[in-house]
Chain A
Amino acid sequence: MKSNYSKRKYVIISIFLVIGLVYLLRLFYIQVIEDKYILSAQNNVIRKETIYPSRGLILDRNGKVMVANHVVYDILITPNQVGRMDTLRFCNLLDITKVQFIELYKKARKYSPYKASLFVGQLSKEDFAYLQESLHEFPGFFSQKRTLRYYPYPIGALNLGDIGEVNQREIDRDNYYSSGDYIGKNGLERFYEQELRGQKGIEFVMVDVFNRKKGSYKEGKYDTLAHPGKNLFTGLDAELQAYGELLMHNKLGSIVALEPSTGEILALISSPTYDPALLVGRKRGENFNKLLNDSLKPLYNRALMATYPPGSTFKMVNALVALQENAITPDTYFSCQGKSSQPIKCTHNHMTPLSLENGIQQSCNPFFWQTFRNILNNPRYRNSHDAYEAWYNIVKSFGLGEKFNSDLMFESAGNIPSKAYYDKAYNGQWNAMTVRSLAIGQGEILITPIQLANMAAIIANRGFYYPPHLVRAIHTRENLTKSATNKKTVSVDRRHFYPLIEGMEKVAKVGGTASRASMDSIVVCGKTGTVQNPHGRDHSVFIAFAPKDNPKIAIAVIVENAGDYGGTWAAPITSLMMEKYFYREIRRKEKEKQILEADLIPK
């Protein structure tokens, strides 16, 4: 009775059809509805290769390249394409240990098993040459060419800045960047990141399962070209910068040299400094930590960030305010009782009474106290508070107490105390006597070295300045930056500068407080200062410009803990800098040797 079972064929046909239907539905789902597989397929075969543009160069004022590029190779990994391979040989070629290999692999896998990420970065051309031949034996790994910074001269680290891998915050802020990209972290590299970086290009290539290139995707229809970054033309003088760094060796402090007529920074030295090459390449992180933990703080840009009471150098500003406000005239004489002067004693022996010219030459404290008192007790104003306000406004016009906001990273504003500040501090009860320290640049007043240098430039220019800036032009020499055209005039008439400059000329001559700054054929005008340092020996300060007529350079030098007066260390350093700038060589070898051998770092 086997035919009884013939109806069972329907059951069997049903099983066939049900399975068929389930498969059809499944196929419909994965092929028509779900589109993640299309993406995965593209991820499999299409590799997006980033073409990194070469970063813009940074040149000095004479066309010397200060920051250049050289080629390195990154090894990238796509973890889920890594296959059977001779790991030990690979480690040897890359010069890493097996433990490091595993760690790096885990890190990459955590980032993404499908997407390529950096495995080992910045192999030199030579190192890469060995690896390149056998890279195809290591599935999942491929190379990418990129350029790295190279410094022909080991100088200007903090000005030039450095580049490093982008962090997550930077990626979130600007979607131009992706993991492993480089970005300016400090200095010009950071400030001009947009100009320097150029535009990345993208190339789509087809690869097989072994990551071998099989050609471009759709004949390069979606590829974009890389545009190189723009060059920066700075006002820096590489030779002067190098010489300044040399002079400041074994000293703490700053040198800022400006071209007064343009505000271009000729040299910006913060000491101690470091070789910018330390922050390039695979040792970057390690070296950065060393610098960060150095007790002398080489990463701290003293020239821009350190603030000091300007000391006697500030007397010049007070003199200019007094002349402008008619609180004194060039013919006003004040007397000096030397060490018994009240309320501020004099530290020099000189004739008395004396005029502005000699007051500056001798840096006479009683002279400037009386000048300052005249400013605040000026009959022009209802009271000394209003007079102070007038003083304050003129002082601020010198660019003091605020940032220049040119192209300097991490400037300090310094401090010029406002009327409101004293009202609060003294409950409204204060007068010239209360704030007398301001007369000689002490007290609450704080100035950065670059502000000091700019002060010298203003005097050199007889009343105007361009905010000090590093870069004069971008891309072409004619394409000037905003700072280079941002002329500012101070609130002191041009004529008032002349008597002051006469005094400054005497400073740098025999008999002045900075005779050590003198040079034979070029007339130098300067002003010494001593910054009282409650923590140790006083700081030595000197500002100067030269030549007297049509000045080419204005300088401020601060040597911390140098003791004595500004004339001892800061003035000869200034003088040597000027000699270098004007003659390109040093003839006063004895003087140079003395500076080079000095070790003024507090032990």
Chain B
Amino acid sequence: MRERKSIFHNLDWYLVGFYLLFVFMGLISIYAAVYNPESPSILDRSQLYGIQFVWIMSSLLLATIILMLDVKIFSSFSYLIYGVSMLMLILVLLFGKVISGSKSWFHIGGASLQPAEFAKFATNLALASFLSNLDNNLKTAKTVFIAGFILLIPTALILLQNDTGSAIVYVSFILVLYREGFSGNFLILGFVTAILFVFTLMVGKYLVLGIIAAITIVLFLITQKARKNLFTLFGLFAVIVAFVFSVDYAFENILQDHQKERIEILLGKKTDLKGAGYNVHQSLIAIGSGGFAGKGFLQGTQTKYKFVPEQSTDFIFCTVGEEWGFLGSSLFVFLYLGFLVRLLYAAERQRSAFSRIYGYGVASILFFHMAVNVGMTIGLAPVIGIPLPFFSYGGSSLWAFTILLFIFIKMDSYRLELL
């Protein structure tokens, strides 16, 4: 069993293929976004695309190394890896460098490293390790509590770095918990909460309360069951009322000004095309002006002339939308969905719960990143600065996502042996 023919044995070539395709598409997009006619070589290391090429090459090396490692390392050392990762998050708080308001970067030599990116796969490993233990059952409060604790530590530490975007990513683990038996009601509760939150801010609390009261009365009048459960019905009503009132309070007092602004702009309550709304507005212009077939490679005027900020990192999707049009961006969405579905498929075929949970974690994290990142460029999500996996410029995120994915690919190639 130990004698493996090659690291490529039993490898899921679909996932590897998707990975290589995305990394390549990302490089092309970065090239187009920051294209400098004086340095047209994609390998020119004085340009962002040249640097990204180096990151890609090193990521491939990293992926190869992961594939060569003993697969048992990940399950055995999952808590250790988690612990080291959390330590890094603490260290960066103490010794990190502040970049655009967030104290989340280590500056070593000429390179910058963002521990929060690496905390994702570490947390995923720890969670998978914990939940795969047969003693733990998400129906019990204790398990839920500990699982929540595993997630809360990195979330809190990253929040302390003032990197809200990276912290919010941990919300995505709710899908993993759900898959492993966590009550679906919480998923619904989360959904309802989000809807109530948005509606309260959009139309005002009194209108929302009116609607809720109306629904309660109608339920009371038309259903027998509701009348029997009078206590539950009105208890629920009271909770909702309290929540609606707290939304206003939370919005006004807990959120920071720039966060409030981003939410208000997303909800259309405020337009500030020069300030906080500028990014989204320009991003919409870039993508929208791509039209059906796009403007063509290197022909995107909005990105080329730098109207879209952060165009190589958080707003990289604009380049895709502008230069390749609806054809290109819908192809992107299809490819990404295909990738995610393939991940779920691969996760489900694992014999080991650890691998399966880890696989779900990978899919959830990548999905959340894609949904928020693309959503923000097309005005469907608030501006949260998180990268588009494999596309956005940046070494830390590319390395971290490569590690995240290839640990699973490694596990998957051992799916028949791991239990």
The answer to whether the Cβ of B71 comes within 8 Å of any Cβ in the partner chain is: no
8 Å CB contact of B305 from A9, A11, A19, A44 = A44
Contact (Cβ within 8 A) A209 B353: no
**Minimum Cβ distance to chain A for residue B391 (Å):** 15
- CB within 8 Å for A26 and B305 given contacts A5-B179, A37-B287, A40-B289: no
Q: Which residue of the partner chain, among A8, A9, A23, A41, contacts B289 with CB atoms under 8 Å?
A: A41
Q: Which of A6-29 contact B (CB under 8 A)?
A: 6, 8-9, 11-13, 15-17, 19-20, 22-24, 26-28
Bound CA span A41–B290, Å: 9
How many A-B residue contacts, CB cutoff 8 Å? 124
Interface digits, B351-382 against A, CB 8 Å rule (1 contact, 0 not)? 00100000010010001000100110011100
Q: Which of B178, B180, B360, B371 contacts A2 (CB 8 A)?
A: B180
Number of interface residues of B (CB under 8 A): 48
Given the interface pairs A19-B371, A20-B337, the reply to whether A80 lies near B274 with Cβ below 8 Å is yes
In the bound complex, do residue A45 and residue B330 qualify as a contact, i.e. CB atoms below 8 Å apart?
no
Q: Which residues in A have their C-beta under 8 angstroms from that of B282?
A: 44
Is A38 positioned at the interface, with any CB of B under 8 Å from its CB?
Answer: yes
Query: B288 contacts A34, CB within 8 Å?
Result: yes
**Are B333 and A27 in touch, CB under 8 angstroms?**
yes
* CB <8 Å contact, B321 and A27: yes
Q: Which B residues are CB-close (under 8 A) to A23?
A: 333, 371, 374-375, 378, 380
Pick from B119-127, B217-225, B340-348, B411-419 the stretch touching chain A. B340-348
Contacts of A31 in B (CB 8 A): 287-288, 290-292, 321, 325-326, 329
Q: How far is the CA of A453 from the CA of B361 in the complex (A)?
A: 100
Does the CB pair B305–A27 fall under 8 Å? no
Q: A408: CB under 8 A from chain B?
A: no
In this complex, the interface size class of chain A, counting residues with CB under 8 Å from chain B, is 35 or more
A16 touches which one: B178, B187, B330, B340 (CB < 8 A)? B340
Q: Which of B304, B341, B380 contacts A26 (CB 8 A)?
A: B380
Given A20, A44, A82, which contacts B307 in the complex, CB threshold below 8 Å? A44
**Bound CA span A148–B250, Å:** 60
Pick the contact of A12: B179, B301, B380 (CB < 8 A).
Answer: B179
Residue B284 CB within 8 A of the other chain: yes
Contact check, A12 vs B178: say whether CB atoms are below 8 A apart.
Answer: yes
Counting CB contacts under 8 A, is B268 at the interface?
no
Min CB gap A117→B, angstroms:
16
A27 to B304, CA, bound (A): 21
Query: Which secondary structure dominates where chain A touches chain B?
Result: helix
Whether, in the assembled complex, B306 has its beta carbon less than 8 Å from a beta carbon of chain A, the answer is yes
In the complex, the answer to whether A206 meets B288 with C-beta atoms within 8 Å is no
B-contacting residues, A64-79, CB 8 Å: 79
Contact indicator B305/A208 (Cβ below 8 Å): yes
**B160 an interface residue at 8 Å Cβ cutoff?**
no
CB contact list, A153-209 vs B, under 8 A: 206-209
Q: Which residues of A contact B287 (CB under 8 A)?
A: 27, 30-31, 37
**1/0 per position for A83-112, CB-CB distance to B under 8 A?**
000000000000000000000000000000
Cα distance A219–B185 when bound, in Å?
Answer: 62
Chain B residues, Cβ within 8 Å of A214 = 305
- A281 within 8 Å of B by Cβ? no
Cβ-based interface call for B175 (8 A): yes
- The 0/1 profile, CB within 8 Å of B marked 1, for residues 35-48 of chain A is 01110111011000
Smallest Cβ-Cβ distance to B132: which chain A residue: A2
Chain B 258-278 near chain A by CB (<8 Å), digits 1 or 0: 000000000000000110000
Q: A2-B181, A16-B367, A113-B274 are in contact. Are A27 and B330 (CB under 8 A)?
A: yes
0 or 1 for each of A367-384: is its CB under 8 Å from B? (1 = yes): 000000000000000000
Asked whether any CB of chain B lies closer than 8 Å to the CB of A32, the reply is yes
Asked if B301 contacts A45 (CB within 8 A), the reply is: yes
Q: Which residues of A contact B336 (CB under 8 A)?
A: 20
**Cβ contacts under 8 Å, B286 to chain A:** 41
Q: A37 touches which one: B274, B288, B348 (CB < 8 A)?
A: B288
Specify which chain A residues have a CB less than 8 angstroms from the CB of B363 in the assembled complex: 12
Note all chain A residues with C-beta closer than 8 A to B152. Answer: none
The answer, among A4, A8, A30, for a CB contact under 8 Å with B288, is A30
**Residues A511-530 near B (CB distance < 8 A):** none
- Nearest-CB residue, chain A, relative to B306: A209
Tell whether A38 pairs with B326 under 8 Å between CB atoms, given A27-B378, A44-B305.
Answer: no
Contact with A along B152-196 (1 / 0, CB 8 A): 000000000000000000000001001111001001000000000
Q: In the complex, which of the residues B284, B307, B333, B371 contacts A24, with contact meaning CB atoms closer than 8 Å?
A: B333
- Find out whether the CB atom of A44 lies under 8 angstroms from the CB atom of B340: no
Is B78 located at the chain interface by the 8 A CB criterion?
Answer: no
| Cα separation A40 to B302 with both chains bound (whole Å) | 10
Q: Are A12 and B306 in contact (CB under 8 A)?
A: no
Q: A12 — which chain B residues lie within 8 A by C-beta?
A: 175, 178-179, 344, 360, 363
Complex: A26 Cα to B284 Cα, angstroms: 11
Contact with B along A205-243 (1 / 0, CB 8 A): 011111000100000000000000000000000000000
- Give a binary string over B229-250; 1 marks a CB under 8 Å from any A CB, 0 the rest: 0000000000000000000000
Task: Evaluate contact between B330 and A15: CB separation under 8 angstroms.
Answer: no
Chain B proximity of A34: nearest CB distance (Å): 6
* A38→B330 contact, CB < 8 A: no
Cβ–Cβ contact A209 & B341, under 8 A? no
Task: For the complex, give the distance between the alpha carbons of A23 and B367 in Å.
Answer: 13
Min Cβ gap B249→A in Å is 30
Give complex CA distance A79, B272 in Å: 13
Name A16's closest neighbour in chain B (CB-CB).
B340
A6 to B360 CA separation, bound complex (whole angstroms): 12
Cα separation A209 to B286 with both chains bound (whole Å)? 13
Which residues of chain B come closer than 8 Å to A24, judged between CB atoms? 330, 333
Instruction: Answer yes or no: B285 CB below 8 A from chain A CBs.
Output: yes
Give the chain B neighbours of A37 by CB distance below 8 A: 284-285, 287-289
**Across-interface contacts of B187 in A (CB, < 8 A):** 11
Across the interface, name the chain A residue whose C-beta is closest to B327.
Answer: A31
Q: Which residue of A lies closest to B380 (CB)?
A: A26
- A208: chain B residues within 8 A (beta carbon): 304-307
User: Chain A residues near B380 (CB, 8 Å)?
Assistant: 22-23, 26
Q: Which of B273, B291, B306, B353 has the most CB of A within 10 A?
A: B291
Q: Using Cβ atoms and an 8 Å threshold, which residues of chain B touch A26? A: 378-380
Contact B273 A113 (CB under 8 A): yes
Known contacts A23-B380, A31-B325; A80 and B273 CB within 8 A of each other = yes
**Additional A-B contacts beyond A9-B179, A16-B367, A31-B326 (20; CB < 8 A):** A5-B179, A8-B184, A11-B178, A12-B363, A16-B341, A23-B333, A23-B375, A27-B287, A30-B284, A30-B287, A31-B292, A31-B329, A32-B292, A40-B289, A41-B302, A44-B282, A82-B274, A206-B305, A208-B306, A209-B305
Name 23 A/B residue pairs within 8 A (Cβ), A-sorted: A2-B180, A4-B181, A5-B180, A5-B181, A6-B348, A20-B334, A20-B336, A23-B374, A24-B330, A27-B321, A27-B333, A31-B290, A31-B291, A31-B292, A31-B321, A31-B326, A37-B288, A44-B285, A79-B274, A113-B274, A208-B307, A210-B306, A214-B305
* In the A-B complex, the 4 residue pairs with the closest CB atoms: A37-B288, A41-B289, A208-B305, A31-B326
